Structure 1
Amino acid sequence: MFGDIMGMMGKLKETQQKIEETKKRLDFVLIDEQSSDGLLKVTLTANRTVKSIEIDDSLLDDKEQLEDYLVLVINKAIQKASDVNEAELGAVAKDGMPNIPGMDLFK
């Protein structure tokens, strides 16, 4: 029994290390999003860090429209990045969790 606990602790530590490695890797996974007309483009990492924003000159004449575009496109990009992030980290966590009866957290 004591060996089982030590084995589980080792597995948890290994999983924690894999999660940290995955987080670092997600800094290099880029998510691109753009407005439907292509006038605004945003690139984020899967860790939800903005890497670039490209704004067509035609949007510079209308501050309110530009603000609306920024909110919509950035929110869509953040959602996509969050989906990728959660899927990747969830897969690592699920794969690394020891089989503890009654603890079926990832069904």
Structure 2
Amino acid sequence: MFGDMMGMMGKLKETQAKVEATKKRLETVTLNEKSSDGLVEVTITASRVLKEIKIDDSLLADKEQLEDYLILTINKAIDAATRVNEAELAGVAKEGMPNIPGMDSFFK
């Protein structure tokens, strides 16, 4: 019994280390999202840090339109980064979980 618990504790520590390493790696993974017409482009990391915004000069004349473009494109980038982040971390967590009946349904 105690051997099983010690093994599980070791596996948990190993999984925590893998999760931390994955989080660190996700800081270097970048995603680019563009507005539907390509006038605004946003670069964001998978850890959801905004790195760059490119704006076509044609949008500079209309503040409200520019604000709308920025909101839509940044939200699109955040959604994409969140999906990548969650998928990567869930994969690491699932990989490190002991085989407990019924637990696999938590990761679907």
Alpha-carbon shift at residue 106 of structure 1 (Å): 2.3
Tell me whether 1:35 sits opposite 2:35 in the alignment: yes
The CA distance in 2 between the partners of 1:64 and 1:3, in whole Å, is: 64
Gaps of 5+ in 1: none
Aligned position for 1:69:
69
Stretch moving more, 25-34 or 96-105: 96-105
Deviations, residues 42-83 of structure 1 (Å, cap 9, x unaligned): 000000000000011111100000000000000011000000
Query: SS of 2:107's equivalent?
Result: coil
User: What pairs with 1:1-107 in structure 2 (closer than 5 Å)?
Assistant: 1-104=1-104, 105-107=106-108
Gaps of 5+ in 2: none
Alpha-carbon shift at residue 36 of structure 1 (Å): 1.2
The CA distance in 1 between the partners of 2:73 and 2:53, in whole Å, is: 10
Count of aligned pairs between the two proteins: 107
Alpha-carbon shift at residue 98 of structure 1 (Å): 1.3
The CA distance in 1 between the partners of 2:101 and 2:36, in whole Å, is: 49
The CA distance in 2 between the partners of 1:106 and 1:37, in whole Å, is: 36
The CA distance in 1 between the partners of 2:31 and 2:72, in whole Å, is: 15
Q: Give TM-score scaled by structure 2 length.
A: 0.94
Aligned-pair identity (%): 73
Structure 1 residue identity aligned to 2:107: F
Alpha-carbon shift at residue 19 of structure 1 (Å): 0.3
